[in-house]
Amino acid sequence: MDSVTVPLSTSLDQEQTNQNNTSERDIIAVFSDVDGTLVHYPSDLDLLPIIKGNRILQLPPSATGLRGVISSITLQRCQEIRQEGVALILVSGMRTTTLMKRLPYLPKADAYCSEAGGRIFYPVQSGARSFTPEAYDGADDEALKPFGLSEDLKWKALMSMEDAAGKDGYSGNEILDFKSVQKPVSEREGLLWTFATDLLRRGYILDTDGYSCCFRINEKQQTNSSLFNLLLNGAVSVPSGLSTSTNLGCVDFYPNTSGKKNW
């Protein structure tokens, strides 16, 4: 390839132009975490400031009792992202049951990923189960329209393979029915749950309720702190095919093909 020498000033000007064009034109999607990024957990909800035009919405408590808040300004910014033609994808380690409870309070998105990315849902105009967004300051009509959800079944099939999470975790944990009882972990087939059963035998207390293809070990729930430290220090061997990450004082486990990475 022939080389061309460009004067330094021209090169810098062109680079600045390229950067401007990139920022304006090439961003097609924004992937965002939820907890600690969009949703926050103040120590005292009663001390939250009252600011005109920025009403604070309180989310329903999670399964572990945590109750987060999200501001109208955050919701407005997410709304603006989509209005500019940029896709917004929310990716969280939260259990799917928690996602469903929180949906009315979260920014409307083009895709929702729960269980560390193990389950993917897309909004649809209508569905067997409808979600009605909570009103917030600055919301437009589109942001407040009720919507349904459709799961990415190809992704679900990939997660359901025996060398991943298997199918048993999904039973009783579908979009429409969270009242069914899930199988005990020891009765679930699949690499993920075989490993989970092994950890139970070692004395770990697992958080598996509402999870289909992920499980969590919460430090606060352990009766033996030294066992939890072994996890944090990487002293527990994780089977090939599974990955792990820390998240808000917890250790999450999921198939390699899944995983919300903290880059």
Whether the CB-CB separation of 150 and 121 falls below 8 Å is answered with yes
Q: Are residues 77 and 118 in the same domain?
A: yes
> Domain boundary at 151, 174, 209, which?
151
- Please give the share of the chain, as a percent, with pLDDT higher than 70: 84
d(CA 109, CA 88): 5
Neighbours of 234 (CB within 10 A): 9
> Is residue 33 scored above 60 in pLDDT?
yes
Q: Are residues 49 and 101 in the same domain?
A: yes
**Residue 73 within any structural domain of the chain:** yes
Nearest to 112 by CA among 81, 88, 130: 88
Region of 221 on the Ramachandran plot (φ > 0 left; ψ -120 to 50 alpha; else beta): alpha
Q: Which two tokens stand for residue 235?
A: 């002293």
User: Comparing 81-85, 177-181, 194-198, 200-204, which segment has the lowest mean pLDDT?
Assistant: 177-181
pLDDT band at 78 (very low <50, low <70, confident <90, very high): very high
d(CA 165, CA 180): 19
Q: Are residues 25 and 139 in the same domain?
A: yes
Tell me which residue range forms the domain holding 205: 182-255
pLDDT score of 2: 35
What is the tally of structural domains in the chain?
2
User: Comparing 44-48, 65-69, 216-220, which segment has the lowest mean pLDDT?
Assistant: 44-48
d(CA 19, CA 129): 43
pLDDT score of 1: 34
Q: Are residues 137 and 17 in the same domain?
A: yes
Task: Kindly report, residue by residue over 141-155, the tens digit of the pLDDT.
Answer: 999 999 999 999 999
> Is residue 18 scored above 80 in pLDDT?
no
> Is residue 179 scored above 60 in pLDDT?
no
**Residue 173 within any structural domain of the chain:** no
Task: Kindly report, residue by residue over 235-246, the tens digit of the pLDDT.
Answer: 999 999 999 988
Residue with token string 């990315």: 117
Residue with token string 């105009």: 125
pTM over 0.85: no
Q: Are residues 143 and 238 in the same domain?
A: no
Q: What phi and psi values does residue 108 have, to the nearest 5 degrees?
A: -65, 130
**Residue 143 within any structural domain of the chain:** yes
**Residue 166 within any structural domain of the chain:** no
* CA dist 240 → 97, 164, 195, 198, 237 (Å): 28, 10, 11, 15, 9
Q: Are residues 69 and 130 in the same domain?
A: yes
Separate counts of helices (H) and strands (E) for the chain: 6, 10
**Residue 210 within any structural domain of the chain:** yes
Q: Are residues 77 and 145 in the same domain?
A: yes
Q: What phi and psi values does residue 131 have, to the nearest 5 degrees?
A: -120, 130
